[in-house]
Chains A and B, each alone.
Chain A
Amino acid sequence: MKFQDAVKKSIKAFMNGKSPQATDEMNEGGIFHTPAYFDELEEQMLSDDGKEEIVDEDV
């Protein structure tokens, strides 16, 4: 398997909500950058954009 194929496989798995289990078990508090974390980050970043736009409209 080529590096590019491995990267694609990894991205596909992460987008399907899977995170590296062994790495998660190895870390004491579990891994931080999980699919759920990025879902929250997306909501936060996109909502921040909305606020900025509203401010711009007022100006």
Chain B
Amino acid sequence: MKMFDAPIAGANYSADTRNYPWHRPPDLVNYDEGVDYLIQKMNEPQELELVYALLDIDAHISTIVSSLLMQGISRGKFSIDLAILMAGPIARYISILADEQDIKYNMGVGDEDRVNITPTSLKMALGILDSDGEEETLEVLAEVPVMQEGGLMGAPTGDDVAASEDEQAAMLGMVEEEVESTDELA
């Protein structure tokens, strides 16, 4: 649970409610007037271009609708409640526009846009998986030293700790080094 992901209690009493358009009564309160306004706005060349461009890049209709509605809400044209009611007709109208232009569209209201979370997708999202990511991980694991018993300063234990007799003799200089013959060089 997020402890601080909420407004401070009583913040609404201390805020100036006339600062933003959505704090004032909306311009449109009628359902049909609101839908008419949005359809007319969408028929403006600039808005129409934007809608077609978004459909061309495979944006979901629900995303386009919510962005159009958010725009209207932020300008104080209609309330959030009315915007949610108008979402259906606007989506339907955009689908008709898409059909008219033979643009394939996705409503984006089903579960098909839900991304399945798998270990691989999670690794990719976190940026810890690339083409040779597994090899790197294995190398890193191989280099990890085994912790000694008794902590870092503990005495080494195990069979491989002590050097073999030959190694010890070599370390003490008790082995005669082979002298390379110089005949071959001559």
Contacts and interface: CB of A to CB of B under 8 A. Distances in A.
Nearest to B97: A45
Majority-rule SS of B interface residues:
helix
Given A15-B88, A15-B109, A33 B31 contact: yes
A11 B62 contact: yes
A11 B85 contact: no
Q: How big is the A interface, by class?
A: 20 to 34
B13 to A, nearest CB: 24
Interface of A: 3-4, 6-15, 19-20, 23, 27, 31-33, 35, 38, 41-42, 45-46, 49
Given A4-B66, A7-B87, A41-B93, 17 more contacts: A3-B84, A6-B87, A7-B84, A8-B62, A11-B61, A14-B87, A14-B92, A15-B88, A15-B109, A20-B85, A27-B30, A33-B35, A35-B88, A38-B89, A41-B96, A42-B96, A45-B100
